[in-house]
Amino acid sequence: MKENRQSGSLMLIELLLAIMFFAVCAAICLQIFVTARNAGERSSQLNNAVIQAQNAAECWKASGGSMTETAALLDAELTDSVLSLGFDEGWQPAETQSATFRLTMTPAAIGEADISVASAHGEIFSITAAAPYEEVTQ
């Protein structure tokens, strides 16, 4: 009888140890899963942000450095020489106020503009675009 009880307690201790070991492993695994998911999302956001910033830079070049023409080409809002363009979660154009991602373009040196794409968590990508020198209109 005593042996029976002893083997039962041993099994219980073994089981508890296994669960503890599993819990530690599971915690590490979950952390890795979350990191992988975040890295995937960041990569996707960066990918899309680069495309949008590049598009804005191309329009800036095509317009010869004119913020008004760039805004017209991108179908963006222009307030006090600052161009803003909003995107929803799927990176489709959206209202700037309710947008998940936001592209802003501010004039820098003559013929140059700073383009920045940001989410609520901060800046994702930024670039400085320069219009061809001979075509600068501002």
Partner 1 sequence: MSGTKQRGGISLVFQLLLCCIFVFCLLSVLLTGTEVYKSVSSLSQDGYDGRTCLAYIEAKLRSADGAGSLRVGDFDGHSAVFITEVYDDTEYTTTIYYYEDQVYELFTLSDVELGPEAGEPIIEAESLSFSHENGVITVTCGDKNIFYSPRSREVSE
For position 36 contacting partner 1 by CB under 8 A, the verdict is yes
Task: Enumerate residues 41-60 that contact partner 1 by CB under 8 A.
Answer: 41, 43-44, 47-48, 51, 54-55, 58-59
Q: Which of 17, 24, 26, 108 binds partner 1 (CB under 8 A)?
A: 26
Q: Which of 24, 31, 40, 128 binds partner 1 (CB under 8 A)?
A: 40
**C-alpha pair distances (Å), 82 with each of 15, 50, 94, 108, 135:** 64, 19, 17, 11, 20
Q: Which of 29, 68, 88, 128 binds partner 1 (CB under 8 A)?
A: 29
Site mask for partner 1 (CB under 8 A), range 76-115, x = bound: --------------xxx-----------------------
CB of 125 vs partner 1, minimal distance in Å? 14
- Nearest to partner 1 of 1, 80 (CB atom): 1
Q: What are phi and psi of 115, to 5 degrees?
A: -110, 130
∠ CA 17-19-25, rounded to 5°: 105
- Nearest to partner 1 of 54, 100 (CB atom): 54
Asked if 118 and 102 touch (Cβ cutoff 8 Å), the reply is yes
H helix intervals, 63-84: 67-74
CB of 48 vs partner 1, minimal distance in Å? 8
- Nearest to partner 1 of 70, 84 (CB atom): 70
* H or E element that contains 38: helix 2-62
Helices 2-62 and 67-74 pack at an angle, to 10 degrees, of: 130
Largest pairwise CA distance in the chain: 99
